[in-house]
Amino acid sequence: MNTLKPNCLNFIELLAQNIALISPTMTAALIIPLMFGTTGNISWLSYAVGTIMLLFVAFNLNQFAKRTTNSGSMYTYASSGLGFTGGALCGWCLVWAYLFIGLAGTTGFTIFAGKLLEMIHITAPPVLLFAVCLAACFILAYFDIKISTLVMLGAEAFSCFFIIALCMIVLGHHHFAPDVSQFTLKGVSLSTLGMGVVVAIFSLVGFESSTAFGEEAVNPLKTIPKSIIWSLVFSGLFFMFVCYTEVLGIQGYKDTLDKVDAPLNVLSSMYGVPYLSPILSAGAMFSFFALALSCMNAGARVMFVMGRHDFFPKSTSTAHTKHSTPHVALAVMAAVMFAIVTISKFAFGWEVLDEFNNAGTMGAFGFLGAYFLVSLAAPAFLKKRGELKAKDVAMCAAAVLLMIIPTVGMFVPLPDPPVRYFPYVFAAYLFFGYARVMAMQHQKPERVGEIHDEVKKLHAATA
């Protein structure tokens, strides 16, 4: 069997998939201090710019999503515009992106599960918590995609509710008066803002993950494009609000925000609601679990379709006969995620928080590569359909130019080791993927031609 369960995910469940992968709690709990260390008091502005930048990407992405549907996400989108080579590289980038952002979820789960266990005087080794997180994700994803999306929605809603409640307590303590210092742009450079946008990209990537569920969505040509835009808008506004509040609220604390590893817990103690700390830690743990689960689901579906096209072993394109889930691809994702996070812990001696930061940086490379390719593919796709307009070319150019900002920000100024070596690791990974494409074109030219025809037919069938 190689088909997935049709018409089982509605708009809310697709939105839950996207928001779970964005993981608003991740940013509130761990990323905003990193953002403050980069851009200081104008951190909220970096989130505003990052959101606007990705809305241009979303416009190009929706040129495909509102016209055609499948389970291949941006892989088949890019294939329809750029051909087999461009599409395969886009899919290769996506597998990398979902893999490493999923590891950020796994390590984030481990951090906050560890904090909760410490509250009851229990110590668990990180590797055990890695295994618990990934095994639970696999089980949920294996049995039913609908159940797993509802779990993600509930986890993120629980966490965000208490984060917003804490923010309102902080703002109320300050009588809801505006913090003028956060609206002063004096001394802000384009380089500083660019570095902030890099962090914002780390926070916002994944807004497009619902495109991987085209075969399983209800009315996909409408629900998927809506889920892309609304997940990005909701998350961007949430990040701006929470970032502004954390910067305001931490003023007067013994440490600056960038030196605080659990800002939500610190704020709950500062503002007289310490009983929220375990609730917020539990919410963060659930949210990071949802992030790992959503990445496993999305990455497996990209692998599933690329397996159909022989880029991966044919077994990865197999769906379970009873549950209609891509169980082999899910197992591969779970096994590789566990191997990487465990090897990083023991071979490199990284602390779990270091693993979290490094995984997020690695994942951002993959998403940026995929966003570049799908933005370039959009006008080519529309031209093939005879629907290309000047505004479509302008949107493509705007998206590509804006993405240069975070790309340059990854190199200037040169980051400290080991982060400075990550681009070379990613480049080697891309080279391996390109070599795989070249090998297929040399060894199986007829099959590559068939794949081209399949993608062309698929994207012409649902105008």
pLDDT mean across residues, the chain: 89
- Mean pLDDT in residue range 259-283: 91
pLDDT on residue 463: 43
- The reply to whether 4 falls in a domain is no
pLDDT tens for each residue of 171-199: 999 999 999 999 987 767 766 777 788 78
- The reply to whether 5 falls in a domain is no
pLDDT on residue 6: 80
Using alpha carbons, select from 246, 233, 234, 239 the residue that is nearest to residue 179.
Answer: 246
Which residue's structure tokens are 């996909």?
Answer: 220
Using CA atoms, how far apart are residues 405 and 196, in angstroms rounded to an integer? 10
- Mean pLDDT in residue range 3-27: 85
pLDDT tens for each residue of 215-238: 788 898 999 999 999 999 999 999
Q: Which residue has the higher pLDDT, 86 or 185?
A: 86
- The reply to whether 381 falls in a domain is yes
- The reply to whether 216 falls in a domain is yes
pLDDT tens for each residue of 428-463: 999 999 999 999 999 999 998 888 888 777 656 444
The model scores a pTM over 0.95: no
Using CA atoms, how far apart are residues 428 and 220, in angstroms rounded to an integer? 36
- The reply to whether 453 falls in a domain is no
Tokens of 223: 């629900």
Using alpha carbons, select from 213, 222, 227, 221 the residue that is nearest to residue 72.
Answer: 213
* Structural domain boundaries, residue 51: 11-436
- The reply to whether 448 falls in a domain is no
Using CA atoms, how far apart are residues 292 and 105, in angstroms rounded to an integer? 5
CATH classification of the domain holding 369: 1.20.1740.10
The phi, psi pair for 380, rounded to 5°, reads -65, -40
Q: Report the number of distinct structural domains present in the chain.
A: 1
- The reply to whether 443 falls in a domain is no
- The reply to whether 457 falls in a domain is no
pLDDT on residue 149: 76
The upper half-sphere exposure of residue 149, i.e. CA atoms within 13 Å in the direction of its Cβ, equals: 22
Tell me how many degrees the CA angle 293-294-299 measures, rounded to the nearest 5. Answer: 100
- Assign 268 a pLDDT band (cuts: 50, 70, 90): very high
**Cβ-contact 286, 276 below 8 angstroms:** no
Using CA atoms, how far apart are residues 259 and 309, in angstroms rounded to an integer? 48
Q: b/e string for 106-125 if b means 16 or more Cβ within 10 A? A: bbbbbbbbbbeeeeeeeeee
Q: Which residue has the higher pLDDT, 8 or 341?
A: 341
